[in-house]
Amino acid sequence: MERDLLTRSTVKTTALAGAILALGLGASGCATKNFVRDSVAVVDTRVTGVEGTANDALGRANAAHKLAEGKFLYQVVLSDDSVKFPTDMHALSPEAEQRLTEFAERLKSENRNVYLEIQGFTDSVGDETYNEQLGQARAEAVRRSLNRQGVALNRMATISYGEENPVAPNETPEGRSQNRRVAIVVLS
């Protein structure tokens, strides 16, 4: 009988301990679920914010594209023999400076609100990353020259295409020479 009471007491104690343990695990599980739910909500809010920002940026880019679409006026390319860029150089020759002065005067005489996209190009000799930088330096040299002639900086943007979009084969010195150029795209 005493043994029976001891067994019942042990069973009750074990059952009570099990119930307390189950409640403890259940409560900690709820806390974990709440923590996960709150964490997911924070991440979801951030993702939604980033998606909104990305969609806004995409919308602005598309609007700018639509605005520029069909507004191309003309293009001036500095690549003829008198203004070609020597290999590995971005400095403008006196002939190129003169052409840019004439171009700036043309813009002033037309008296139109135009926007200039100045595109720098290189031949395919050398490292691609370096060619990107060299193309950018060439475009910036043209932008600075035009600014000295009175063209507002906020009406000009530069971009480097490096060795992309060659106008001649890069296998010959003549072809490489033609690819070392700057194009000025005039948009209204």
Q: What is the pLDDT of residues 14-36, one digit of tens each?
A: 555 555 655 555 555 555 767 76
Measured distance CA(87)–CA(125) in Å, rounded: 9
SS3 144: helix
Both tokens assigned to 5: 């009471």
Instruction: Say how far residue 164 (Cα) sits from the centre of its chain.
Output: 17
Which pLDDT value is given to residue 38?
A: 74
> Cα(83)–Cα(175) distance, rounded to whole angstroms?
15
Q: What is the pLDDT of residues 90-142, one digit of tens each?
A: 888 888 899 999 999 999 998 888 999 999 999 999 999 999 999 999 999 99
Q: What's the pLDDT band for 6 if we cut at 50, 70, 90?
A: very low
- Is 125 within 8 Å of 87 (Cβ atoms)? yes
pTM of the model: 0.61
- Write down the pLDDT at residue 88: 77
Q: Per the structure block, which two tokens stand in for 111?
A: 């008296």
